[in-house]
Structure 1
Amino acid sequence: MNFPFPEIPQSLAGIPMGIVVHSYAARWHSKTSSSVYPGFENALDLIAHCEKIGAGGVQVGVNGWASDFAKKVRDVREKSGLYLEGSIGLPKSSTDVSNFEKEVIAAKEAGAEVLRTVCLNGRRYENFHSEKEFLDFKTGALVSLALAEPIVSKHKMKLAVENHKDWKAAELAEIIRDLGSEWVGVTVDFGNNMALLEDPMEVISTLAPLAFSTHVKDMGVKEYDQGFLLSEVPLGEGIVDLKAGVELCKKYNPTINFSLEMITRDPLEIPVLIEEYWGTFPDSNALTLARILKKVKETSFEKGLPEVSNLTSEERLAFEEANVIACLDYSEKSLGLG
């Protein structure tokens, strides 16, 4: 399913990297009293800040948006010139469809053209411990997408399913192609599937033909006793081929936005050396494990992966902001965005 995309308008050339709200995990609804890094209460605060630091747009949750708030977001967004992408939860059953449609309408009223979504809020290897558990989840996810598709089609809104440490790239591509809707595609996350032992460029190559939006990130890795540690790191410092990833996404969708998801947090533990990790991967083999462990060993992050648990609240806010700014600077200078 390769949908034709229009030629990129001259006015969209060189749009700077946008910001996914999760890049401000500490600052979003922050309770820390900080004069330097005040918390963001809503999308209006996020848009204002992203305009100030020179970002090209935002991707932010639209849950609970009423029509009057959507109009405020539209006004602020239009004045700033930033793009807007929404993030939305899928309906779990028919009783959720009405609320899902209200959120789609609100997002469209605010000026969003793409809604990113996920099928799983957790991580595959933590949530499920057997193939049956995972297949039951898959059945529910397919129901959710089937409920959502007529709504986004009706309102001509693109729905983009992220590879969210749940689907392997080929699994997600098959789901989207089988659904066969021009309104349902993918949010390509550049780094998530390393947690599922997949090479970032193989993931991007598989999903870029279906991409409506992106989560651009770079990844650092390091060995630990049960497998490897995985962290988002400032762009250009990790192991993802960002230039190739960006160009591949542009090739298939010239108008796609590039949105930064630089989550400043402690490293994630990917416990590939314990049996429980493998419960939902019946077809995996020793070669897959050997390749990822070899890559981890050869590309171990020299500086030490980012950590926040030892920081004060103010220090964490400062660290988060510094990482976002560094990524925007790299994006402009090295990726030609901006």
Structure 2
Amino acid sequence: MKTQSGNSRREFVKKAGLLGLTFGLPFPKIPDFMKGYELGIVVHSYGMRSSGRLPSTEFPAFQDALDFMNHCHEIGASGIQTVINGWQSDFSKKVREEREKKGMYLEGSIGLPKLKEDVARFEFDILAAKEAGATVVRSVCLNGRRYENFNSLEEFMDFKKGAIQSLQLAEPIVRKHQIKLAIENHKDWKAAELAEILKQLGSEWVGATVDFGNNVSLIEDPNEVIETLAPFAFSTHIKDMGVQEYEDGFLLSEVPLGEGIVDLKKGMDLCKKYNPEITFSLEMITRDPLKVPCLTDRYWETFDNPKAQNFARHLAMIKKNSFSGSLPMTSGLSDDAKLGLEEKNVVECIQWANSQ
């Protein structure tokens, strides 16, 4: 772990240990395979804190990307992936200077252009990302979940048409400025669907942000998803997933690394094989478990008829690997307790990756 004199490994472990004592939970033993795989942090790991919607003096909201970067550096992260929206040149330069001083990587998160009129905004943000030192920007085609946003296959196909148009608008811009655009599997595309879109686009500048857990919600094995998307990987969202049955399907939740169903070593090794320069960015979202109502008719409206064998295999996997104990919950907690749990989960994952 790269540190400055004021942020030694000893200080980091001390901070992490104190946080663990605060919540009465020990940190897990660090497996050998994580050595050499330093983790950065996706800003969405701090969904509650970064939004500022929960007031707190103990866990104050991040004021900007510099504030977020400083915090991530203090807890031992190797880089950040953060939203870039309207950054002016002087701010981008400050981010670059701070990033270089700390020896951290930077990846952007930028909205795709929906129409031709939006291309100028997209290019402005791409230039800001490049000036700040990012070589990769992540984006998504859908804000939401496929099985919740659409009521029919026709609606989904309209969305797909618009998403492809957005990528076609974005590609010349990232090619022109030679910065990589990484499209996340964001509970919208099945792995093979996203791979096919990227193949058809056929650009060396447009690839994937491989999210290690999202597609469990689309009845896909997370390890098979990584295998499918790793050849296109420009960036990653590292996470582990816990699952439990409920009456309409199953519950899905990010859990501390090493406690869930994702083969992290295999996935990280595979992404590194296809892209030796890839970074590994933690997306540990702290929230109530998501309900995946795969036993209801509405869930299947946007999918072709699934193979019964594959569906049965997925449900069997859920049953076999049911998370021990309760999945993480935030309902009923005070604001400070929610923010404290969010911080604990992130620090635990970073220590899991960094400690010896």
**Superposition TM-score, scaled by structure 2 size:** 0.88
Cα offset, 1:285, TM superposition:
2.5
**Which moves more between the two structures, 140-149 or 67-76?**
67-76
Q: Which of 42, 52, 59 pairs up with 2:81? A: 59
2:56 aligned residue:
34
Cα offset, 1:65, TM superposition:
1.0
Q: Which of 94, 110, 114 pairs up with 2:136? A: 114
Amino acid at match of 2:103: G
Cα offset, 1:14, TM superposition:
3.5
Q: Distance in 2 between matches of 1:98 and 1:142?
A: 18
Q: Are residues 1:90 and 2:112 paired?
A: yes
2:222 aligned residue:
200
Query: How far does the alpha carbon of each residue in 1:138-163 deviate from its partner, in whole angstroms, 9 at most, with x for none?
Result: 00000000000000000000000000
1:266 aligned residue:
288
2:184 aligned residue:
162
Q: Which of 253, 256, 276 pairs up with 2:278? A: 256
Q: Distance in 2 between matches of 1:207 and 1:245?
A: 10
Cα offset, 1:321, TM superposition:
0.7
Q: Are residues 1:241 and 2:257 paired?
A: no
2:249 aligned residue:
227
Q: Distance in 1 between matches of 2:325 and 2:254?
A: 13
Count of equivalent residues: 322
1:9 aligned residue:
none
Query: How far does the alpha carbon of each residue in 1:34-82 deviate from its partner, in whole angstroms, 9 at most, with x for none?
Result: 3331111210111000110110000000012111111111111111111
Q: Distance in 1 between matches of 2:80 and 2:36?
A: 16
Determine if contact 1:15/1:56 at 8 Å carries over to the other structure: no
Q: Distance in 1 between matches of 2:351 and 2:320?
A: 27
Amino acid at match of 1:43: A
Amino acid at match of 1:102: F
Q: Are residues 1:136 and 2:158 paired?
A: yes
Determine if contact 1:120/1:164 at 8 Å carries over to the other structure: yes
SS in 2 for 1:50: helix
Amino acid at match of 1:169: A
Q: Which of 46, 50, 58 pairs up with 1:24? A: 46
2:121 aligned residue:
99
Amino acid at match of 1:305: L
Identical counterparts, % of pairs: 63
Cα offset, 1:292, TM superposition:
1.4
Cα offset, 1:333, TM superposition:
4.8
Cα offset, 1:176, TM superposition:
0.4
Q: Distance in 1 between matches of 2:80 and 2:90?
A: 19
Q: What are structure 2's unaligned runs of at least 5 residues?
A: 1-34
1:279 aligned residue:
301
Q: Are residues 1:323 and 2:345 paired?
A: yes
SS in 1 for 2:51: coil
Query: How far does the alpha carbon of each residue in 1:162-206 deviate from its partner, in whole angstroms, 9 at most, with x for none?
Result: 000000000000100110100000000000000000001100000
Cα offset, 1:247, TM superposition:
0.5
1:216 aligned residue:
238
Determine if contact 1:190/1:217 at 8 Å carries over to the other structure: yes
Cα offset, 1:30, TM superposition:
1.7
Cα offset, 1:313, TM superposition:
0.6
1:291 aligned residue:
313
2:330 aligned residue:
308
Determine if contact 2:56/2:335 at 8 Å carries over to the other structure: no
Q: Distance in 2 between matches of 1:304 and 1:276?
A: 27
1:7 aligned residue:
none
Amino acid at match of 2:63: E
SS in 2 for 1:134: helix
Query: How far does the alpha carbon of each residue in 1:200-240 deviate from its partner, in whole angstroms, 9 at most, with x for none?
Result: 11000000000000000000000111000000000000010
CA RMSD, aligned part only? 1.3
2:103 aligned residue:
81
Determine if contact 1:189/1:215 at 8 Å carries over to the other structure: yes
Amino acid at match of 2:189: W
